[in-house]
Structure 1
Amino acid sequence: MPAKRTTIKDVAKKANVSIRTVSNVINNRDDQMRPGTKSRVERAIKDLGYQVNRSARALKTGKTKVLGLAMPDFDQPFIGFLVNAFDEAARRRGYATVSSLFGFSNERRRDFADSIPRINADGWAYLFEEPIHPDSPLFQQNVPLILISDYSSAGMYDIITMPNTESSQYLTNTLFDQGSSSIAFIGAPESLYDKSAADSDKLKYLIMNATDGNGTLRLKGYVLAHLQHGKEIPWNQVIPTKHMTSFSGVTATYNLLKNKVLPDSIVCVNDAVAMGVISTLIRNGFSIPEQIRVCGFDNIPESEISVPPLTTINFHIDQYAQLAVDALVSRINGNLEPANTFTSGFNLIERESTRIFS
């Protein structure tokens, strides 16, 4: 015979509390509960192996206690890092998570949009790496949505973002203040060059007036730091990439090495690009940081074990993910306030790839 399923009544009996008290613990309604009572219930749940019957709860409440997280693909190490942080943040709020991909083509996005009712999450967080038209089928949904993105939602949805410009300006200023005299930037968006047709004045205008896109905004911080220090912007050392990957960093580094005069420091648009840059420089006989210092953004786990360990901007991924979960849960719970923008903090983590400054 199959084993008898543990019920909430069994948990209440073992913990010597009411069924309502167990329900409050399960549903995170335990703010006013004595710590000892909560601990006793949690221990009983663990000892008995109790699991919430989510199907029954969804039928009763109309909610599944599941949050969806969707993104175009997994080509960035940062995305896996974020998925883990989002799941942990959701569990702290009593939610499970499901992740899915919506790709880059219109057909793929329509397929994903059609699947959302079947997945049956209470709400979705979309991670965008490019602007998405408001009429996209991704937005034609009957569940709450928020965006994890550096692109505007035109006031339609809450946005979780990073201080891209401020952090990049801080990083570049730090390099100048600690003795660097020539700083390159690898990872400028190719689209900027399509619009400016290699006209440096127009390129500068586009960058200074940019309001979205993490690559453009990080480049903006780099430009602002040069202006702050009265430095000419070395446009021949601002290298565009099509993607923000390690392979793009390799290609961009070879393009940088074509210059007769090389920089003593390189700001990379993210850690993935920086690792491609470091690998290529070392293969070409350069010593890091003695000849060229390299730094990035995101503080992905691999940045700490790269060779040498990478100096990087840490965007507090746990806070970033928690902001996303809290905003989405708030909308699920009926928050009808106008759309907000929530921005994480940052700090600079200095490691061996620039430690010559110390």
Structure 2
Amino acid sequence: MGPTMHDVARVAGVSIKTVSNVINDYPHVRPGTRDRVNEAIVQLDYRPNLSARGLRSGRTGVIGLAVPSLRENYFAELADEVIRAAEKRGLGVMVEQTSGDRETELRAVSRSRPRFLDGMLFSPVSLGQEDADALSVDAPLVLLGERIFDGPTDHVTMHNTSSAQAAVEHLLSIGRRRIALIGADHEDDDEASSASLRLKGYRRALEQAGIEQDPALVRHMSMKQWNRAGGASATHEMVRDGVEFDAVFTLNDTLGLGVLRALREEGLRVPDDVAVIGFDNIDESKYSVPSMSTVDTGRAQIASIAVDRLLERITEKGERRKPETFKPPFRIIARESTGFPDADDPDGA
């Protein structure tokens, strides 16, 4: 038999009624008391009886998360962070993969509150600014990512442009001047895409450094090619085309892992001949050889903020407040691929 509410109350040193108030997210609980109860829930791995809870409150304690692909490291790790954040708040998570398909994304939003879901976190890649009205649903919904701005929902995103600029500035600071970018959109007119926003930061950094931009250094592909094979292929192509480059900025870490492999196959040393920096700080980047410098966009904070905002929307009463946008801070993690083997990396690199 698993732990009970009585066990949680005993470990937290509170009454069963207080535990119930925390689980049901009643507002009049002292923060310190709420923290003790939540810590006891995690320690005991207590799972509330969602059926009974739903009958009392009209809520099930289960939220949804719709992401493009769980094969992509970033979204798999984001899902893990969301599940961890939700568990701390006594919530379960149902994860749905949309495969980046437009119709699947539209269906995910339209049914964003099945009977067993209290609300949904939604990360689209095929929907765009013109689809903002599709987010006007009755169920609580929080948007993740960069595809739609100023929509009718709370939005948790990242500093794409300024963080990409900082990544390129890091390469400039170590003396690199022929900096390639891998992962740009085929079309630059989609201003809301991750690729376009990061390309903007790349261009801004070069412009402010007084470096003329060379189109041969920008390698285009679809987001479905943002993988190891895409990064390796683009690198081999640059070498084959005779393009001179002394650094590479990849628009996600998975591309960067492919770049590291291709550079080795081409007989180029990292970072001596070519420095490399990625984007997203996936776990694998700190265990590559050499370890890969990257942009940490605050994934854990994104997950925590998103779950909190969704929970607030689920429990809010009366007039709904206006939607808000949240962007956690980012940081550059300098590792071996840009010549920093002793970098200060609290994640363990």
User: Shared fold by TM > 0.5?
Assistant: yes
| Superposition deviation, residue 77 in structure 1 | 0.7
The 1:233/1:330 distance shift into structure 2, 3 A limit, reads: same
Correspondence 1:20 to 2:17: yes
Q: Distance in 2 between the 1:14 and 1:174 partners?
A: 48
| Superposition deviation, residue 277 in structure 1 | 0.8
Aligned to 2:30: 32
- 3-state DSSP class of the match of 2:123? strand
Q: Distance in 2 between the 1:151 and 1:107 partners?
A: 15
| Superposition deviation, residue 54 in structure 1 | 0.7
Aligned length: 336
Aligned to 1:320: 302
Stretches of structure 1 that go unaligned for 5 or more consecutive residues are: 193-205
Q: Distance in 2 between the 1:12 and 1:346 partners?
A: 38
TM (normalized to structure 1)? 0.82
The 1:330/1:264 distance shift into structure 2, 3 A limit, reads: same
**AA of the residue aligned to 1:100:** E
Q: Tell which structure's C-alpha radius of gyration is larger.
A: 1
- 3-state DSSP class of the match of 1:344? coil
Aligned to 1:152: 148
Correspondence 1:168 to 2:150: no
1:6-17 to structure 2, matched below 5 A, reads 8=5
1:234-253 to structure 2, matched below 5 A, reads 234-242=214-222, 243-253=225-235
Stretches of structure 2 that go unaligned for 5 or more consecutive residues are: 343-349
**AA of the residue aligned to 1:24:** N
**Is the CA contact (8 Å cut-off) linking 1:268 and 1:295 kept in structure 2?**
yes
The 1:140/1:102 distance shift into structure 2, 3 A limit, reads: farther
Q: 93-102 vs 107-116, which deviates more?
A: 107-116
**AA of the residue aligned to 1:289:** P
Q: Identical aligned pairs, as a percentage?
A: 32
Aligned to 1:354: 338
**Is the CA contact (8 Å cut-off) linking 1:67 and 1:95 kept in structure 2?**
yes
**AA of the residue aligned to 1:177:** S
| Superposition deviation, residue 94 in structure 1 | 2.3
| Superposition deviation, residue 33 in structure 1 | 7.5
**Is the CA contact (8 Å cut-off) linking 2:128 and 2:192 kept in structure 1?**
no
Correspondence 1:219 to 2:219: no
Q: Deviations over 1:91-122 (max 9, x none)?
A: 22221211112234455446645765546211
**Is the CA contact (8 Å cut-off) linking 1:290 and 1:356 kept in structure 2?**
no
Q: Distance in 1 between the 2:307 and 2:8 partners?
A: 29
Q: Distance in 2 between the 1:151 and 1:15 partners?
A: 42
Correspondence 1:72 to 2:56: no
Q: Distance in 1 between the 2:278 and 2:32 partners?
A: 46
Q: Distance in 2 between the 1:351 and 1:176 partners?
A: 15
**AA of the residue aligned to 1:241:** M
TM (normalized to structure 2)? 0.84
Aligned to 2:210: 230
**Is the CA contact (8 Å cut-off) linking 1:165 and 1:218 kept in structure 2?**
yes
Q: Distance in 2 between the 1:330 and 1:269 partners?
A: 33
**AA of the residue aligned to 1:20:** K
Q: Distance in 1 between the 2:139 and 2:119 partners?
A: 5
Aligned to 1:304: 286
1:113-132 to structure 2, matched below 5 A, reads 116-118=112-114, 120-132=116-128
Correspondence 1:262 to 2:260: no
Q: Deviations over 1:179-219 (max 9, x none)?
A: 11211111111233xxxxxxxxxxxxx5xxx7421111111
**Is the CA contact (8 Å cut-off) linking 2:132 and 2:148 kept in structure 1?**
no
Aligned to 1:200: none
